Amino acid sequence: MDGIDGGYIPKVEFSNQSMNFFWIDDACELEDEQVLHAEAIVLNCESAQSVLHILHKLRHMNDKRIYLKPIFLNDRVHDDYIIQQTDGVLDENPIEKIIEKAFRINILSRDVGVFQQNQDYHTKLLLKTLQYLYTRNTTLHPTRTRKVKIAYAYPYLNSLIEDNESYKVFDLLLQATQQGFLKTLLVDKINLCSNCHGSYLNFREACPKCQSIDLEVVDIIHHFRCANVAPVSDYLDGENLHCPKCDKTLRHIGIDYDKPSEIFHCQSCDHRTQDLNMKALCVDCGTENTLEILRTQTVMSYEITAAGKDLALNGLVKLDESTLPLTGDHRIVNWTNLEIVFNYEKEKSKLQKGRSKMGVIHIQEAAFRNLDPDTQQKVNRELLLILHHYLRSIDVLSSKNLWKYVFLLPEISEADANAMQEMMQYNIHKLLSHNIDMDDNFLSIQIQDISPDSQIPIF
């Protein structure tokens, strides 16, 4: 790579192919229209902040020719966290290997679908991540790092999400797994702050009576002759040990006495105990967490499934909104209005916990796609008719495709919600069984409380 300056790397022939690499030293060069037409990008920035800023801007663009473009670092001046956000380092590989990799990525990128208009943020994150895994033919493996609050970063995906929202990566990937787009392998389990979801926690023992951390460890002495057991302070008589029970002097450990255990003496309230509370101070936000309120999070490695590849290639089948309204039924709304009601119910939940719920009806996508279009529309109409009978006047329902529906149930009791779920499950299962060969996992209906942390499932 010696002798190559900024701008374009000269075309290099490889297997009857030529390739242009665009050299970027500064984020201002992203405005150059040649970024779009280059077949790969090389980042020549010594500043880690500059590299991350450029990656963030490139990955956030909506044109697949840019956000999926092969991106390489010029040399290894950065750590693994940054390197794994790119497709490799030039000075560690023969140029032929770099060209071969970039060529393969570009070929696969031509196959993937484009975004539909007005697709929401979380759907774009999911599609971009699946398309990245497909075009790189790789797994999504977490990198342990202190550069993000949650202690683990995922290649590509973390360049799309701000650090103060990095914990949402787990929710996104969990929903994608539940929908069958990804399969997982356990890597680690971590504890996160209940307030800011940071992983930088300082664990300390605390007095169960006053919660002070000012504790002194005190030896327990067991006198063999009279079987007295007490803290060492009860035995001290000047520099000697004197049994408070039988008035004998203790001279030799192992002969006269032993120290079978310890207790903790609180210097703040004088309480003595062997059972301490544990507290975890979040270094990032200062919240004092008990162990019970920490968020325990599994960290997984992810591999794209056949359904995930299909989604990466074809995108989401958009539901024709003309199929949604039923003779002006005000309860069946477009997606934007459902989000407005959902956000309102989230705010209410801060004051009235558990008063409103969200339901999700999920039909197995792969089997549904196997139906001919007429049957798909027929099932959709009949399913909406079933829901029409169970939704109350204050409930709302919407969808973005034909196999997943979201409905909101304001001000509903647990008993009424459970009864509604049971009846929906029975009748929708009965409807679908007449049209589709079903297994036990084909239909899922879930109703859950709306809380301040709730999210609408990804479509």
Note down pLDDT in tens along the chain; length 459 residues.
Answer: 443 444 444 444 333 356 788 888 888 888 777 788 888 999 988 888 888 899 999 998 888 889 999 999 987 777 788 888 899 888 777 888 888 899 999 989 888 877 665 667 778 888 999 999 999 999 999 999 888 889 999 988 888 887 777 888 888 898 888 878 899 999 999 999 989 889 999 999 899 999 999 998 888 889 988 988 888 888 888 888 989 888 888 988 888 888 888 889 999 998 988 888 899 999 999 999 998 889 999 999 999 998 888 888 877 644 444 444 444 567 788 888 888 889 888 888 887 776 889 999 888 777 777 777 777 777 777 778 778 777 888 888 888 777 788 999 988 888 888 888 888 888 887 777 766 665 666 778 889 999 888 888 765
The per-residue b/e assignment along 273-291, b for 16 or more CB within 10 angstroms, e otherwise, is: eeebeebbbbeeeebbbee
pTM above 0.85, yes or no: no
Q: Where are the domain boundaries for CATH 3.30.70.270 in the chain?
A: 317-449
Of 144, 188, 184, 151, whose CA–CA distance to 301 is shortest? 184
| Contact indicator for 98, 71 with CB cutoff of 8 Å | no
pLDDT of residue 140: 94
Beta strands 236-237 and 272-273, pairing class: unpaired
| C-beta atoms surrounding 428 within 10 Å | 20
Report how far residue 118's alpha carbon sits from residue 406's, in angstroms, rounded to the nearest whole number.
Answer: 18
Contacts of 195 (CB under 8 A, 6+ apart): 282, 285, 287, 289
Residue entry with tokens 């150059």: 32
pLDDT of residue 174: 87
Class of the domain covering 317-449? alpha beta
pLDDT of residue 5: 43
